[in-house]
Amino acid sequence: MKTVNVLKSGLFAVIVLFNLSSVFAQDAKDIVRKADAKWNGEKSSQATMTMTIVRPTWERTIQFKIWTLEKDYSMTLITAPAKEKGQAFLKRETEMWNWMPTISRMIKMPPSMLADGWMGSDYTNDDILKESSIVVDFTHKIIGSETIDGWDCYKIEMYPNEDAAVVWGKIIKWISKDEYLMMKSEYFDEDEYLVKTEFGTDVKLMDGRKIPSKIEIIPADKDNQKTVVIIDDIKFNVAIQNSFFSQQNMKRLR
């Protein structure tokens, strides 16, 4: 009888642990989903941003507008400096394109370019075009809690799904327990070596929701190098149709 009770107790403990692990896994995914919606809008977004690329011997600033619609559509337009003004980037479902007005050429971007630096910055083409989704293309696990810049955060580990076309081998995100803000992210390659760290700071109320208005990306292996993005203006859940995201419209954007 004692043996039976021990077996029952052990089985009960296994069931409890299994259920708890399932709950935590679901919680982690839900946290990431809420943070992603907070940043990108539940359906769509429209923003104006200023990006400064800092290098040991020089720095330059690029201004751009960006539109997104759910996971499948993204459009980015360079508005300054004059040399790159009018250049546009489009993601439409599984295809990605770059319009270069100076040579009147439309270039289809292959998946191999996703990991390349966008406009020479520490952002990747994948970061801007959003080919991958941190919600859909990864598994999620809460691995701890930590305070970042005064915000109590969940520490969430993310590994890509086997069939996902993603750039990163692993991502760790620190998401605030209050407001679901992405305060810090670490990006690792396939061998799990740290490639870059991203910090979200200067939290502001923008279009009715609090978000970090300044994003700083610091490469792991390059001294005195970083990319800083300031959100000048952003609107969430704007009225926009998928027909907006077309090659024809890329050439007309202003």
Where along the chain do its domains lie? 36-252
Q: Which residues contact 12 (CB under 8 A, 6 or more apart)?
A: none
- pLDDT grade for 111, boundaries at 50, 70 and 90: confident
CATH number, span 36-252: 2.50.20.10
Average pLDDT for the chain: 88
If one compares 49 and 112, the residue with the highest pLDDT of the two is 49
pLDDT number for residue 198 = 97
- For the entire predicted model, the pTM comes to 0.83
The CA radius of gyration of the chain, in Å to the nearest whole number, is 21
147-202 confidence digits (pLDDT tens): 999 999 999 999 999 888 788 999 999 999 999 999 999 999 999 999 999 999 99
Task: Convert the pLDDT of each residue in 208-250 to its tens digit.
Answer: 999 999 999 999 988 999 999 999 999 999 999 999 999 999 9
Q: Average pLDDT, stretch 39-64?
A: 95
Contact 33, 156 (CB under 8 A): no
127 class by beta-carbon count within 10 Å (0-12 exposed, 13-18 middle, 19+ buried) = buried
Alpha-carbon distance 197 to 89, whole Å?
Answer: 24
DSSP 160: E
Q: Output the CA angle 62-67-70, nearest 5 degrees.
A: 140
The pair of structure tokens assigned to 173 is 């995100």
Q: Higher-confidence residue: 4 or 171? A: 171
Nearest CA among 198, 199, 193 for reference residue 169: 193
Q: What are phi and psi of 250, to 5 degrees?
A: -55, -35
